[in-house]
Amino acid sequence: MTAISNHQIQTNKWSQAILKPAQEFNSTPLSVISGEIPTGLQGTLYRNGPGCLQRGGVPVGHWFDGDGAILAVNFSHGRVAATYRFVQTQGYQREVAANRYLYSNYGMTAPGNFWQRLLTPVKNTANTSVLALPDRLLALWEAGKPYALDLETLATLGEDDLGALRPQWNYSAHYKRDGKTGEIWNFGLTPGLNSQLRIYRSHPSGKISKAVSHQVAGIPLIHDFVMAGEYLIFLIPPVRLNLWSIVLGQKSYSDALTWQPNKGTQVLVFDRENLQLVAKSVTEPWFQWHFANGYVDTDGLVRIDFIQYPDFQTNQYLQQVATGNTHTLAVSCLSRVYLQPQTAKVVKVEKILDDHCEFPSVPPVNVGKYSRHTYLSAYRPGTNTQTEIFNAIARFDHQTSDFCIADMGENCYPSEPIFVSNSENPEQGWILTVVYDGNLDSSQVWIYDGDRLQDEPVCRLQLPGFIPPSFHGTWKPV
């Protein structure tokens, strides 16, 4: 790691929000820039992402290494207030005090000699997603336990074991929640010579009611999974970790991950109720970070929509985001897998949208069921996807194949779109996104009519300062 020099400072407008640490703020009323706050919008939007990508003038090794910071935007009877705070993990507090990096992470190795690196734990950055429970907010990360925060003030309460997580058990950032019962499913991978994939079923309170462990070969990169009807399904891409290079301190986790297409994509189908393996198979190689949704169709086949990459080049692109200068081409598409759940046999894989996109989601009530619409992060037409980050949001209509893009204008960069139901009319909803305006070096909350992304936002709200590009968020209704 070397200090940031002047020639590294880029002219990309989005890099302004990447290359400088964000500033926290306590609950602050937001002013309306345009439009009106919908009266049926009652609740809180939470978002999580890296808020600081340098320490003591030294940059992180990968975008995934930044310390997690949570934005909360509360809507209550026509008034809106926002709070933004870093998750006070033990690692964050120690590194702030030292003003230097002390730990290894996804794209970084710990400082010091071999023995010092060997004895230094990986820092839990708590920077990937959020899970809103009735009495607390969980900041989630890929390879550790959740950190609990106060729902209103975002004060950090400490690590949370959800009543069952043992010391070496991890809890992923990509849970699935039943829109009707509120039950939660998640997983965690414990790497080793015999890696353990642990699947969790939890009460709406967050407390784990059942945990089952399954052995998987090697150390795969499993970022997300999908719930489809009565099944939980993992599509494990052919990316494997060289553990010895990590143990010896020769490489970071990111550098130790290799693309091995000869292994194919592993398909694991589990029963949603008892968490037992139903079937497994191997199909053609691809890579994915995120799933949009899954459901069982009338023929009994499982249909899974996901963001498909032909290889693992996306990891290199995401590493470059942290520098403010991207130049790797990592193009994705929205694809669909059809599989027979009782045998895990893949019947067909088809591309359903050719546009480069990411961060897919459906209305929460449709998770695990058929959803007519999928919402996505996308690009404005004509954008150079090698040098820009996502600069639009979009909606794909599975009935008509219509792809509607909300073009926010030049140098505006929205976060992942979040669908929120109208508390006064459940048939209608809005799309919320946090937009970094590179022209003004500030951030705003934009609210769209969920059925009319092609129109101007129904409301735009001014946030204090800027919010760096974030990863994932959620909505907690009143």
Give pLDDT tens digits for 393-447: 999 999 999 999 999 999 999 999 999 999 888 778 999 999 999 999 999 999 9
Domains in the chain: boundaries? 6-477
Q: List pLDDT tens digits, range 233-271.
A: 999 999 999 988 988 888 999 999 999 999 999 999 999
Q: What is the pLDDT of residue 1?
A: 43
Q: Is the pLDDT of residue 7 over 50?
A: no
Q: Is the pLDDT of residue 11 over 80?
A: no
Q: Is the pLDDT of residue 144 over 80?
A: yes
Q: What is the pLDDT of residue 2?
A: 42
Q: What is the pLDDT of residue 15?
A: 96
Query: pLDDT-based confidence at 8, cuts 50/70/90?
Result: very low
Q: What is the pLDDT of residue 4?
A: 41
Mean pLDDT within 288-302: 98
Q: List pLDDT tens digits, range 151-166.
A: 999 999 999 999 999 9
HEC secondary structure over the chain: CCCCCHHHCCCCHHHHHCCCCCCCEEEEECEEEEECCCCCCCEEEEEEEEEECEECCEECCCHHHCEEEEEEEEEECCEEEEEEEECCCHHHHHHHHHCCCCCEECCECCCCCHHHHHHCCECCCCCCEEEECCCCEEEECCCCCCEEECCCCCCEEEECCCCCCCCCCCCCCCCEECCCCCCEEEEEEECCCCEEEEEEEECCCCCEEEEEEEEECCCECCCCCEEECCEEEEEECCEEECHHHHHCCCCCHHHHEEECHHHCEEEEEEECCCCCEEEEEEECCCECCCEEEEEECCCCCEEEEEEEECCCHHHHHHHHHCCCCCCCCCCCEEEEEEEECCCCEEEEEEEEECCCCEEEECCHHHCCCCCCEEEEEECCCCCCCCCCCCCEEEEEECCCCCEEEEECCCCEEECCCEEEEECCEEEEEEEEEEEEECCCCEEEEEEEECCCCCCCCCEEEECCCCCCCCCEEEEEEC
Mean pLDDT within 16-43: 96
Which range, of 112-116, 194-198, 199-203, 319-323, averages the lowest pLDDT?
112-116
Q: List pLDDT tens digits, range 226-235.
A: 999 999 999 9
Judge whether 467 and 71 are in contact, CB under 8 Å: yes
Assess if CATH 2.130.10.10 describes domain 6-477.
yes
